[in-house]
Structure 1
């Protein structure tokens, strides 16, 4: 049986997808660099407490970097504005959350700890918007 295969439609990379892929790749690349730098270059400089704070920031940044790549694809696949809003919430949340933790761990700027939970709220909001977008999708 020599059936001809139909061409697969190419995924259109929308502006929203590009934003998601950009921030996902940026957070992933930077997370790997910071994690490696901390593990190898700062292991004798930072306290266990500081290293834990830094590792928490890196972990959330890496996990959400992958999530931003996926949400960027959802923007192209489903063409729903809600996925883009969720993507922006998560990107902002990761920036606030992780970078405030980096400032606390590396620079000792403890008053920035007030920003960390704001970043967490943005990430949570982004995930709730994602859940809503999935159930709203027809």
Structure 2
């Protein structure tokens, strides 16, 4: 006989996020927010101000920022699930890489500061390193 009365409550399972997970998800969401904002602003407000080259440079920065914003959230979930320190190092590398890569491209496009072009590949190297660390973390026991 079932004594279930409807007033019985199932035990609640509480989940908490680590500081590392929160940082990664926050940065991913921030990069997504800013990427959408800047992309929309450029498409609507800057289309008559910037030349074709500048628009292309800006779009490249936005594209990489948006893709890696999602990637940061995925990496944060992986860190949360598996607690592998390498995932957190990958989060840091990708976040730093996006900052250097995309924001240097924004400066080039919006301010015409071409000397910042030397920073862009440094950002690319950090992003690549982050994804290499992710692959290593997945393969490592």
Q: 2:63 aligns with which of 56, 59, 63?
A: 59
Normalising by structure 1, we get a TM-score of 0.92
In 2, the alpha carbon distance for the partners of 1:49 and 1:7 equals 58
Partner residue of 1:101? Answer: 105
In 1, the alpha carbon distance for the partners of 2:11 and 2:117 equals 52
For residues 40 and 14 of structure 1, do their structure 2 counterparts lie closer, same or farther at Cα, with a shift above 3 Å needed?
same
Cα RMSD (Å): 1.7
In 1, the alpha carbon distance for the partners of 2:103 and 2:70 equals 17
Deviation string, structure 1 residues 48-96 (Cα, Å, up to 9, x no partner): 0000000000000000000001111111100010000000000000000
Partner residue of 1:40? Answer: 44
Q: Which runs of 5+ in 2 are unaligned?
A: 3-9
Q: How many equivalent pairs are there? A: 134
Which entry has the higher C-alpha Rg, 1 or 2?
Answer: 2
In 1, the alpha carbon distance for the partners of 2:11 and 2:136 equals 33
Q: 1:49 aligns with which of 34, 50, 53?
A: 53
Which structure 2 residues correspond to residues 110-121 of structure 1 after superposition, within 5 A?
110-121=114-125
Displacement of 1:7 after TM fit? 6.4
1:97 touches 1:118 (CA, 8 Å); kept in 2? Answer: yes
Matched, 1:12 2:16: yes
